[in-house]
Structure 1
């Protein structure tokens, strides 16, 4: 398809194509968007409310860019070929998320996901048409690579102790800078400091680095200009070094996989160059990795570091690699082209080196994992590699997530549980008490969110674009191949890594993938669709009108959501500075008018209403708060925070039976929440004991039975956790607590089941009888033993020694009848 001129004035690109002057409006907007987006905490997916406003700004910006696109490309919207129809097909993706609202576990998260998917669709459409222009493609490609390199250098600045300097540069346009430091640019966990740069998650940063490392190698081998070759080669060491500093095992495992896939698309001369550059970059990086790693660790563990020394290592290694790249491209590359010309002409010539590479990777992996060769790596990196095995906890935990995701899919098979569903409902389905709000697999999380129907739509979309791109790549000349191959590199690298991680939960990563898919579609092998070759002005107007109306809805929605967030922030500030109820109430009420199911607005307004009710005891405030919470749960039925607030409200009013019912009716939603089950068991005893005092034996039995069922659930859960694979971590604590044992034992005791009570009390009895709870358990334990005709002299003597009056207390318990 030709590139038309959309304005009267047009600049002429170097390749002879016309670049319309009006197109620069869209180009500049997209460039600024790509520069702004990554520094908004990687634009996380809205599960963390601190990041959500950036998402709304991103959707608003994308909507404005799409309006500019519609104005510029109006005459080309004809839907006359396969490429054009992908612009329609991509709209089905957000539509599947709209369908997910029907059964959404959380309307709030699901609506955020709809907006995000609309943003992706808009970027795909813009990329599809904009990148067909060769100069536009070149500018966007250069911008994307430049942003990637900035992110890499930003990360190293943080690693080498210059985080405040780096943060000061970006702090004026991002709220992710807190107290002068970019939040979690360096992750610190049990493995020590780990580099995360703008993404706040090392594994996603590793996927990003992997993609642009291969982009840089490709750019070196493609470029005809020495300075371009030198720039891209200079960045190889910083990227490989950063990849090592993430300590991401997934990054190191998937890197050779993606490398072999990409080699299949190159002719032998380029394959040799790629392998050579990988070896050079790896060798240069290993030469400086240990001192740079040590310097960064010293700084982030509170010791004095030397940033200049660290940068000296990095810059020297990078300059050496850049110089070698210039020599290779100047002298070796042309020679290789000549020497491999006949080889390249042979059938399946491009298969041999990938096969050899696979063998080499296997040998290297064996050496690194099974020999002392790993000692060439810095200590913590070598240790991480050493721990790569099928029994490693990270892998076992991921497999558990996937099995639990299958349980969700079985309950929500067709249209899914809505966007963000995993974060809402994973506790109901979890096999053990992990705390991951991500399924750690793009595929499994996508199936959970939109079901089989949505997944088929996405899979068909991806399969079609990949098939058409690869088919077109095979039949294209090398120039056209080179024009769009970086998009393929980015998309395949991130998607492959996302099979076992949640990279696509970062909106910036999703933006890169869908813009990349747009670039692939722009270059794909294209055919007319005669059956649907609607070229009339009327249809073009209708199609554009539908898009514009949809975009206007997105703009309106985004603005309202931004306003709601601003109102919440204002309300929080007033809660800390004002005592005027009406003044504090106003912004929260305004936020709820603009977004009625916003959890932050609901929870903060609830705190305000409950405080006023506690002070005044006026029913109006109680009723308003009750309605606020119960209405919220109709749209967010798995929100534990709201349930807890509802329980507190009922308890404040003295309606303990209703508080108890909330605990009992929703216990199955939080299978491994130790605190939830402890409260349920305690409340069951207290409600049953109250019924006993009222001589309501039937109700006592009902409460006690319910509490003992909850206790049995905990016991079974504890036994189940003992059977977890040896290398798998349990996650959060989940055990029979002394409080659980005390109250469950009391219930058995008062149901005249002394033997069962003894077993439970013994399970909860701790060695320190100076502790109040342990002493009470011991008292009831000894009473239950006496009732069953036995004793525990050691415990008895210890208890009486601490407090002789306990002898009478035990006797009184023994004499009780129920």
Structure 2
């Protein structure tokens, strides 16, 4: 059977038919997204207010493009073969996210992810139809590669000190330019400066670079025009250099893996060319890596600024590699094709070079990791390579994330905990107090968000496309294979790296992946589906109804969310500049009308109402704030900021029992929040002491039991952290504070357990007794010892020397009976 794209009977619409005006509008829309989106911090996943608006605008643009697609391809719409049904099947991806709203840990995050997944589905459908057309396919390829090259050069310009210049060029449309500089285009951490370009995260940038490096190599071998070969060859060194500058160990580890897998899809002549180009680019990069790295480091450390020298190295190496690429394609490539043509038809002939490449990669890795060859690289790059092992912090931490994600899945197995669930839930399930709102694995994060059902749907969709594409690739001619291979490179490269990082949390990466999947589906081995086939009129009617209704709903929803976002921002600004209550309240009210329970709007409005109550003692303000917070918690049951605001509201009115109840009932959600447990233990003591003063022994016991259980939780947590592998950091602070010790010791003392009280208080005597809290711990400790008939003369002498009046206090406490 012939394949509509790969086969011999390719239709005119897929090979030479001119695109309609509507199709051209689609192309323009895709160009805009591919150029505009990455400079909005890669369109990060909407977990933070500042990243929301560009995402909603992307959804609006995508929705309008869907309507344009309907006009452009209305006559081509059908539901009678595997390709057309794949376009329908993709709708199940956002539907699984919509279904997960039923158990969403955060309705706010989950709705954002529903919109994002709808955008992906829209772009897949548009791409599937557009990329079947030869002209449309070529246009999208050029646009995608051009955007990537712009991002690469933007990153290097920031590295070599021209950040303000290039930021001025994108600042008029980018929300990520602050004070004239693109935020975190160069990341600074314990390893020193790391290149991140538009993504603000070096590891994702490394994955992006890896994918487009291989796209560039492929483009050189496919191009027939000398200037195209030269352009792609020119970009090899900047991309390889940028990979090194990210200091991403994951990027360096996955690079050879992806390279070897891609070689399996090439005939021997092309394999030789790929290896040759990678070697040339690698050598050219190594020759300039050290000086360029050091120049960038010196600039970002405020030492010297000499961008011309750095660009001299980069341009010289790039021009030489570009010239070599043209020469190889002009003179060597034809001879390789001729001499290895016989080998190409032999069975398994394309396995030899990949196998040899595996051996070569192992040898190169051993040389760089085990010899002084690593000194050829800049110091921090060599050190990062040297530290690649399974006991390093980043690996151990990721393994911990994955284990914790499985705990979440256990509680939300079928439909998941909704989009953004990891950010909302991780504090409840974490093994140690790390701070990561991302699970650092696309698979694990996807399972957490939509459960087994959603993951099964997504994997069925992905695996079907891969299977059909590879099947069609094997059966097709060389020219037909090359028409859509770029999409396979992009999807495979980005997915592989996403196994151990959160690249797919960047919507721009998601756009590339779903357009890539559309490109693969446009070229896949296609077969009729007779049992599910619909009449063209029925298919068009169904598609039209879904497209129009979905587009209108998405446009309306996104506009309201943008308006809510703007109103929250306006309200925040007024809170810093205005003292007029109603003026500040107005935009926050409008925000909540546009998007009920929007967390930032809720928190800011609550702060305003709380201030109104403080100033006027008007119960209306208190009630409004209380109702706002409690209603928001029904949709955001894991939002710690809302809980803290509600606690502050209770404490303002002296409602200590209600504040205590919030600490107690939600302690399991924040198992490693030291401040939360500090307050819970302290509140338990205070309320228990009040109950004791009222002779309510039962309540005293209840409060004290809660407080002591919380204290024991902290003790066990501190001991657990000691069991972490040596290479793994514990994350945030978590220890027994003096206040915890004092409160726990007092509770044990007042429960007539002086021995236990003395043991607790003794462990807390770690500081100078000139500190008032330490003095109080010492007093209660000595009193507990006196009750048991024991003493600690050293502590006693030190305390009495500092404060002699405490002698009588100790004696009086020791005589008390509870």
| Map of 1:366 onto structure 2 | 366
Distance 1:235 1:530, change over 3 A: same
Q: Which range moves more in the overlay, 472-481 or 559-568?
A: 472-481
Hey, what's the Cα distance between the residues in 2 that align with 1:22 and 1:546?
19
| Map of 2:523 onto structure 1 | 523
| Map of 1:606 onto structure 2 | 606
Q: Does 1:583 align with 2:572?
A: no
Deviation per CA, 1:611-639, whole angstroms, max 9, x where unpaired? 10111111111111000000000011000
Hey, what's the Cα distance between the residues in 2 that align with 1:16 and 1:543?
26
Q: Which range moves more in the overlay, 477-486 or 438-447?
A: 477-486
Q: Which range moves more in the overlay, 369-378 or 647-656?
A: 369-378
Distance 1:294 1:474, change over 3 A: same
Shift of 1:533: 2.4
Hey, what's the Cα distance between the residues in 2 that align with 1:61 and 1:627?
37
Shift of 1:720: 1.0
User: What is the correspondence of 1:707-746 to structure 2 with a 5 Å cutoff?
Assistant: 707-746=707-746
Shift of 1:775: 1.6
SS class of match (2:194):
strand
Shift of 1:811: 2.0
| Number of positions where the alignment pairs a residue of Structure 1 with one of Structure 2 | 810
User: What is the correspondence of 1:419-498 to structure 2 with a 5 Å cutoff?
Assistant: 419-498=419-498
Kept in 2, the 8 Å contact 1:13–1:135? The answer is no
Hey, what's the Cα distance between the residues in 2 that align with 1:752 and 1:429?
35
Hey, what's the Cα distance between the residues in 2 that align with 1:728 and 1:69?
51
Kept in 1, the 8 Å contact 2:765–2:778? The answer is yes
| Map of 1:167 onto structure 2 | 167
Kept in 1, the 8 Å contact 2:426–2:437? The answer is yes
RMSD of the alignment, in Å?
A: 1.3
SS class of match (2:19):
strand
Deviation per CA, 1:321-374, whole angstroms, max 9, x where unpaired? 111111111111111111111111100111111111111111211222222221
TM value normalised by structure 1? 0.98
User: What is the correspondence of 1:612-691 to structure 2 with a 5 Å cutoff?
Assistant: 612-691=612-691
Hey, what's the Cα distance between the residues in 2 that align with 1:280 and 1:643?
58
| Map of 2:146 onto structure 1 | 146
Hey, what's the Cα distance between the residues in 2 that align with 1:812 and 1:329?
95
Shift of 1:15: 6.8
Hey, what's the Cα distance between the residues in 2 that align with 1:670 and 1:214?
44
Deviation per CA, 1:644-701, whole angstroms, max 9, x where unpaired? 0010000001110000000000000111111100000000001111111112111111
Shift of 1:376: 1.0
| Map of 1:509 onto structure 2 | 509
Q: Does 1:572 align with 2:578?
A: no
Hey, what's the Cα distance between the residues in 2 that align with 1:356 and 1:685?
69
Hey, what's the Cα distance between the residues in 2 that align with 1:539 and 1:129?
15
Hey, what's the Cα distance between the residues in 1 that align with 2:617 and 2:490?
60
Hey, what's the Cα distance between the residues in 1 that align with 2:516 and 2:13?
23
TM value normalised by structure 2? 0.98
Structure 1: state its 5+ residue gaps.
4-11
| Map of 2:54 onto structure 1 | 54
SS class of match (2:212):
helix
SS class of match (1:765):
coil
Hey, what's the Cα distance between the residues in 2 that align with 1:536 and 1:259?
43
| Map of 2:559 onto structure 1 | 559
User: What is the correspondence of 1:748-759 to structure 2 with a 5 Å cutoff?
Assistant: 748-759=748-759
Kept in 1, the 8 Å contact 2:79–2:536? The answer is no
Distance 1:16 1:73, change over 3 A: closer
| Map of 1:9 onto structure 2 | none
Hey, what's the Cα distance between the residues in 2 that align with 1:771 and 1:298?
45
Distance 1:2 1:355, change over 3 A: closer
| Map of 2:207 onto structure 1 | 207
Kept in 1, the 8 Å contact 2:16–2:134? The answer is no
| Map of 1:114 onto structure 2 | 114
Q: Does 1:103 align with 2:106?
A: no
| Map of 1:157 onto structure 2 | 157
SS class of match (2:187):
strand
Q: Does 1:92 align with 2:121?
A: no
| Map of 2:418 onto structure 1 | 418
Q: Which range moves more in the overlay, 707-716 or 527-536?
A: 527-536
| Map of 2:83 onto structure 1 | 83
SS class of match (1:144):
helix
Shift of 1:313: 0.7
Structure 2: state its 5+ residue gaps.
6-11
Hey, what's the Cα distance between the residues in 2 that align with 1:801 and 1:112?
63
Deviation per CA, 1:19-63, whole angstroms, max 9, x where unpaired? 334421111111111110000011011112210111101101100
| Map of 1:264 onto structure 2 | 264
Hey, what's the Cα distance between the residues in 2 that align with 1:532 and 1:744?
68
Kept in 2, the 8 Å contact 1:188–1:194? The answer is yes
| Map of 2:9 onto structure 1 | none
Distance 1:342 1:632, change over 3 A: same
SS class of match (1:173):
coil
Hey, what's the Cα distance between the residues in 2 that align with 1:717 and 1:360?
46
Shift of 1:507: 0.5
Q: Which range moves more in the overlay, 748-757 or 118-127?
A: 748-757
Shift of 1:403: 0.6
Deviation per CA, 1:513-539, whole angstroms, max 9, x where unpaired? 001100110111111112222234244
| Map of 1:806 onto structure 2 | 806
Q: Which range moves more in the overlay, 70-79 or 529-538?
A: 529-538
Distance 1:392 1:206, change over 3 A: same
Kept in 2, the 8 Å contact 1:405–1:448? The answer is yes
Kept in 1, the 8 Å contact 2:13–2:133? The answer is no
Hey, what's the Cα distance between the residues in 1 that align with 2:152 and 2:588?
40
| Map of 1:124 onto structure 2 | 124
User: What is the correspondence of 1:316-395 to structure 2 with a 5 Å cutoff?
Assistant: 316-395=316-395
Distance 1:397 1:104, change over 3 A: same
Shift of 1:570: 1.1
Hey, what's the Cα distance between the residues in 1 that align with 2:538 and 2:428?
51
Q: Does 1:41 align with 2:41?
A: yes
| Map of 1:771 onto structure 2 | 771
Shift of 1:131: 0.7
SS class of match (1:187):
strand
Hey, what's the Cα distance between the residues in 2 that align with 1:259 and 1:192?
29
| Map of 2:8 onto structure 1 | none
| Map of 1:8 onto structure 2 | none
Hey, what's the Cα distance between the residues in 1 that align with 2:494 and 2:538?
40
Shift of 1:320: 0.9
Shift of 1:18: 2.3
Q: Which range moves more in the overlay, 777-786 or 129-138?
A: 777-786
SS class of match (1:68):
helix
SS class of match (1:41):
coil
Shift of 1:305: 2.1
Hey, what's the Cα distance between the residues in 1 that align with 2:461 and 2:218?
26
SS class of match (1:194):
strand
Kept in 1, the 8 Å contact 2:20–2:72? The answer is no
Deviation per CA, 1:237-277, whole angstroms, max 9, x where unpaired? 10011000100000000000100110000000110110111
Deviation per CA, 1:120-141, whole angstroms, max 9, x where unpaired? 0000001000011101111110
Hey, what's the Cα distance between the residues in 1 that align with 2:621 and 2:693?
32
Shift of 1:16: 4.1
Hey, what's the Cα distance between the residues in 2 that align with 1:304 and 1:599?
45
Q: Which range moves more in the overlay, 525-534 or 14-23?
A: 14-23
SS class of match (1:530):
coil
| Map of 1:273 onto structure 2 | 273
Hey, what's the Cα distance between the residues in 2 that align with 1:305 and 1:783?
66
